[in-house]
Amino acid sequence: MTPRMLPKLVTMTALFSNLAAAADEAEDPFLWLESIDGTRAMEWVEAHNQATIRELALHPDFEAIRARCLEILDSEERIAYPSIRGTMIYNFWQGAGAERGVWRRSRQAAYLSGEPRWETVLDIDALARAEQEQWVFKGAQMLDPEYELCLVQLSRGGSDAVEVREFDLVGKSFSTNGFFLPESKTRVAWLDRDTLLVGTDFGADSMTDSGYPRIVKRWRRGTPIEEAETLFEGRKTDVGAGATVYRNPERTYVMLDRSITFYQSEYFAYESGRLVRLDLPADAAVAGIFKGQVLVELKSDWAVDGRTLPSGALVAAGYAPLMEGRHDLCVLHAPERRSSLAGIATTLNQVLATVYVNGQYDRLQRFLFDGQEWRVEPVSLPGTGTVSIVATDDYSDRYFFAYESPLTPRSLYHVADDGGRSLVKSLPAYFDAAGFAVEFHEATSKDGVRIPYSVVIARDAKRDGSNPTLLYGYGGFEVSLRPHYSPTMGSAWLERGGVYAMAHIRGGGEFGPAWHQAAKKENRQRAFDDFIAVSEDLVARGICSRRTLGIMGGSNGGLLVGVAATQRPDLYGAVVCAVPLLDMKRFNKLLAGASWMGEYGNPDLPEEWAYLSKYSPYHQVAGERSYPRIFFTTTTRDDRVHPGHARKMAARMESMGHPVFYYENTEGGHGSGVTNGQRAYVQGLTYAYLLTTLRQDVPRPETQDADAPLVHPGDSNPME
């Protein structure tokens, strides 16, 4: 190619690019709403925010709900959840006077006494004011066991991308000339005091199509990151790659992982300057390393050395034999019918595992290893409910766990080295639960499978279909929904006559990997059928009617309720669709969407678009049908699920004559806000919407004068 040919080539490339863009616009007239900060798009967002506020913020209960939610979120009676770091307890706290939060610490003895003496380590509000930036604290990785240095992760507006800065925990200040990584979806780990293992945006195609690092480097203190040594490179089509350092008392283990898809990975041990791939199933997940044993969760049956280990099992695999290509395996937990592993953690001498049983409650057990044999022991609990392991310590057998049920406020317990248990703190009763009961039912899905769900309902509630009922669901990525105590839902919804239901549909992980895999890719419709079946069962039992039934879901759950609303609009009176995934034709081209093709499929393949197109809400909404007035919420700074999904769906529905409510917080990441004030405001709007649409005894408010000035949390300037 000669130099004089280049201008013509550039012109032709631009022409084809413009033609392609025009074709995209013709196929999708709302493509312009994918411009996250575009002037036209943001004008659309603000106009819709104002319209929603003018109507929902005038509901007679809105201000009371918003104020009560903020009171709960700011309450000093909340539990300060601990992280164990040597003799100190660390905690991140948001509340009155700490809108963006304060990272603080207390001596463990004082914390356990119930009177912690908190010492501020890093004030995020002060940092935001000083640097004129909307910083959000995203955690810190400490260098153990000394705990003198850490890597603080800061996000602008709550996005997943973070800036990483080295922080001196002794001097409580950012280290002069310390490690620093600019904003990116970074994975980083301490190898030692002067060395990091880093996956970040190194430039030159160093990120995957999903927006995560594909290269892992070893970076030594005092050297330019451009000179960091490359340890591993994945492919651009992978989800991502990263390194994990397990620093145990007996030794340090370094593991690199390559996520090929969301559910398939390769694991490499890094020993003496070389990488050794571990012979594990591609869909298995490494949950930790304990006393020379690699803890592995199986997602499918594993045929190995003449036997088959079952899907859903927790397996201990000897590290040394794996390094030699051999298998020394022990099944610690085998799956039971209608149960699944809910959580795994380690201390110095025990592996802790919670087991979720029958969609109703948890068991907690511990596994002990003497170097030759394993034994399992049950851990006694305060009652029958949900248990979560909150914090553990690799250098002792101390740990904290939380216990709760839908009508029992959460309590935090401490377990000492000798196994003794003590209550640290309990939440107060934020709503009066005395008149309510929890019921467990099952619905029959379209293919005959029994789908469990729970209901929190007043004991004296009539079964005549009159109860305003909110059904929540998720059904994806092997995420288990577990019964829990929700102070804001209880005070905003239950105390106002509402019923709350939770569906344990396929696609989730409530009953192990098979429950999830039953609704992946071409079988996704099963999750939607399950949710619709639970909806119909609630109506059939007289708990609610179609007019008084509302549904709610966020993220993948936003897709769930979006599909339910477009497939069965006759079944619902209200739909809350939060930070949703809705355009299944373009989801893999937006932000982290490419990483989810292992869950949903690839819309660029005709055979997979064939089934995706059948339920994609953005493509299934029709002008001739009647829909409930859906409430869409999202955030501008969500860099996981693109806000364009909610924007475009709302715009398309309006263009067809279907009114909607829409609210977009201008910061907040993949959630409802970064401050308690923002979260309370969104909850106020949400429950005002549900009361407006589902409760018949509250008059619908008049719309406020369109010229009246309005202020909402998205307008606030945290620097002032």
In eight-state DSSP terms, residue 718 is T
- Rounded to the nearest 5 degrees, what angle is found at the Cα of 544, between the Cα atoms of 488 and 696? 75
Q: Would you list the DSSP string of 147-173?
A: T-EEEEEEEETT-S-EEEEEEETTTTE
> Is 645 a residue of the active site?
no
Read out DSSP for 637-656?
T-SSS-THHHHHHHHHHHHT
User: Can 670 be counted among the known catalytic residues?
Assistant: yes
Helix (H, G, I), strand (E, B) or coil at 661: strand
For residue 649, list its beta bridge partners: none
DSSP 62: H
Does the N-terminal peptide bond of residue 513 adopt cis geometry, omega within 30 degrees of 0?
A: no
Q: Which of 259, 388, 555, 595 is catalytic?
A: 555
Non-local CB neighbours of 435 within 8 Å, separated by 6+ positions? 458, 459, 460
Among candidate residues 175, 210, 290, 98, the one with its CA nearest the CA of residue 589: 210
CA–CA dist 529, 475 (Å, integer) = 11
In this structure, how many other beta carbons lie within 10 angstroms of the beta carbon of residue 116? 19
Q: How far is CA 708 from CA 54, 175, 352, 685, in A?
A: 9, 49, 57, 18
Q: Which residues lie across from 368 on neighbouring strands? A: 375
Extract the tokens encoding 115: 């009177």
What 3-state class would DSSP assign to 715?
A: helix
How far apart, in Å, are the Cα atoms of 5 and each of 8, 41, 149, 279, 659? 6, 38, 56, 53, 53
d(CA 355, CA 157): 36
**How far apart, in whole angstroms, are the C-alpha atoms of residue 403 and residue 405?**
7
Please, what is the end-to-end C-alpha distance for the chain in angstroms? 58
DSSP collapsed to 3 states, 567-589 = HCHHHCCEEEEECCCCCCCCHHH
**Tokens (6 digits) for 39:** 């002037």
Helix, strand, or coil (residue 293): strand
Residue type, 56: L
> Strand order in 265-271's β-sheet?
240-247, 252-259, 265-271, 274-277
Counted residue by residue, the chain has a size of 720
Separation between Cα atoms, residue 140 and residue 128, nearest integer Å: 17
Residue closest to 138 by CA, chosen among 120, 126, 150 = 150
Position 673: which residue type? G
Closest by CA position to 343, among listed 277, 409, 390, 399:
390
Q: Which helix (H) or strand (E) holds 275?
A: strand 274-277
Q: One of 504, 619, 670, 712 is an active-site residue; which one? A: 670
Give the number of other Cβ atoms within 10 Å of residue 657's Cβ: 9
Distance in angstroms (rounded) separating the CA atoms of residues 189 and 245:
6
| Token pair of 505 as six digits | 């549909």
- Give strand pairing partners of 553: 577
Give the residue numbers marked as catalytic.
555, 670
